[in-house]
């Protein structure tokens, strides 16, 4: 399994989050999550413009094994989705940390401080 990048924040529900300029939070799933899911065959992305609360169910990932809900790490508005995943969801299996799913303009980016750093997430997934 790949190393968890230090520049990301991690949710207990296995999403990663990266704060970018303009209060934009880029979100994907972790390498641990894609490994547990197996071959991903479908990703249901949220609608651009949707307002969400932190920890609200926002998207779904389906694999040959199971389906898994994805949650928003912050409160805000969906401003972009990775449309390339509609036709090629397997990109997440190939590079989980390099393949983002959606971006949210955060109302309060400090909500990310409630997420785990790479070390804490690593410890959680080893339990």
Is residue 36 included in any domain, yes or no? yes
Q: Nearest-CA neighbor of 62 among 98, 89, 100?
A: 89
Q: Which structural domain, as residue segments, surrounds residue 82?
A: 9-108
Give the pLDDT score at 127.
Answer: 79
CATH number at residue 81: 2.40.50.100
Can you say whether residue 14 is alpha, beta or left, with left for phi > 0 and alpha for psi between -120 and 50 degrees? Answer: left
Give the pLDDT score at 3.
Answer: 87
Is residue 60 included in any domain, yes or no? yes
Type and span of the H or E element at 32: helix 31-37
Measured CA to CA, the distance from residue 95 to residue 84 in angstroms comes to 14
Instruction: Give yes or no for residue 1 having a pLDDT over 70.
Output: no
Least confident of 17-21, 69-73, 123-127: 123-127
Q: How many domains does the chain have?
A: 1
Is residue 115 included in any domain, yes or no? no
Is residue 65 included in any domain, yes or no? yes
Q: What is the mean pLDDT of residues 83-98?
A: 96
Is residue 42 included in any domain, yes or no? yes
14 neighbors 27 (Cβ within 8 angstroms): no
Give the pLDDT score at 54.
Answer: 96
Is residue 31 included in any domain, yes or no? yes
Instruction: Give yes or no for residue 75 having a pLDDT over 90.
Output: yes
Is residue 15 included in any domain, yes or no? yes
Give the pLDDT score at 2.
Answer: 74
Instruction: Give yes or no for residue 92 having a pLDDT over 70.
Output: yes
């Amino acid at each position: 399994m790949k190393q968890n990048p230090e520049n990301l924040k991690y949710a207990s529900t296995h999403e990663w989050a990266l704060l970018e300029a303009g209060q934009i939070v880029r979100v994907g799933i972790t390498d641990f999550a894609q490994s547990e899911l197996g071959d991903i065959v479908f990703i249901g992305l949220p609608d651009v413009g949707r307002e969400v609360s932190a920890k609200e169910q926002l998207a779904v990932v389906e694999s040959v094994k199971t389906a898994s809900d994805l949650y928003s790490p912050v409160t805000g508005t969906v401003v972009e989705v990775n449309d390339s995943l509609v036709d090629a969801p397997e990109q997440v299996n190939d590079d989980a940390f390099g393949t983002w799913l959606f971006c949210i303009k955060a109302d309060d980016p400090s909500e990310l401080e409630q997420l785990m750093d790479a070390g804490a997430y690593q410890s959680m997934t080893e339990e």
